[in-house]
Amino acid sequence: MEGKTLDTKELLQEEQDFGFARVYSVELKYREQPKLDRDLLYANMERYTGKLDQSERQKKTAGLAVWEANEEADKDLLHFFHLNYMVQYAEGEMPAQTSLVEIENRSAADYGTAIQQAWHWHEAGQTLAECAHSLLLVDMMASGLEPKTRLELFTGALRAVLETAPCDAIYFRASDKLVEPEAYLAAIEEGARLYGAMNVRFYNVEGTGSERRESLMDTVGLASLGIPDVQCHFYGLNPDDVAGTLTNIGYYLFEQGDIIGDGETIGFTEDMRWRCEHQYALAAPRRVVIDLDPGEPYYAGRQGAAPTE
């Protein structure tokens, strides 16, 4: 994969203003203590992400490589260097990396917002309550990759871990989304690359004084990859239809990039002409979204516009 020059100041500004994530991560939740067959993990990692680097500090197992920290505090850290995913820095080229480490398990209460929005998996809360162990998978030095390439690498690394040590729940931090592991793997096989990386959320808006039922739906997770999320603040539309529209536009942006200009309209039928504008999200976390205006009498109002170049 071709890399691009990484500007640290630019990334810091993107992270603050856009919602961009320099480090991408998921938590793998287990009812029982996970057991990692390292030879199998290395083989699966190379199967799904390609060639791994060799260095003096790496353990050489069956011709594959992963860096294993010698420090006692980091004795459980596994660190992979992915030579098929190179990032260009001012000082030179460096492979993107992923790390797997055991972390302290958090209670189900810490995932309250994710459980509330887990429309796709009603057993999410109960499953989390039964989990007592957690692993954390993160990428590092990967934020300079193009969004599709970065997610491709991370998805491959996650598949390698899941096929080595199957877990009971997966939590995507960037999208605040809980997914059932078998459903995730099935979705990825079917080409739904954003199944975990993008979450579609629904909110009833109360206390506005309006006699009409006011709702907000948005996506979360895309901005962390460098792509605007999508939101719609509306009256009187079918939430299932809005969710489908947000999902379709999210995938369109993921595939094509941020190519929808302010004032342009988008639609998937002859009668659908929803106006688009870059704004800051109405619902946390702070990030740039493309706000969708379905027109009268459905549009419930706008947020302050996000800055444009």
Write the pLDDT tens digit of every residue in 177-187: 999 999 999 99
Band (pLDDT 50/70/90 cuts) for residue 15 is: low
pLDDT score for 30: 98
Q: Is the peptide bond before 285 cis (omega within 30 degrees of 0)?
A: yes
Mean pLDDT on 59-85: 60
Show me where the domains of the chain are located. 8-189, 199-293
Give, to the nearest 10 degrees, the angle between helix 38-49 and helix 147-164. Answer: 150
Neighbours of 190 (CB within 10 A): 9
Whether pLDDT at 22 is above 50: yes
Mean pLDDT on 125-154: 96
pLDDT score for 205: 83
Mean pLDDT of the chain: 86
Tell me the C-alpha distance between 178 and 190, whole Å: 19
Share of the chain above pLDDT 70, in %: 83
Mean pLDDT on 173-202: 97
Mean pLDDT on 43-65: 67
Three-state SS at 69:
coil
pLDDT score for 299: 87
Q: Which residues pair with 219 in a beta bridge?
A: 200
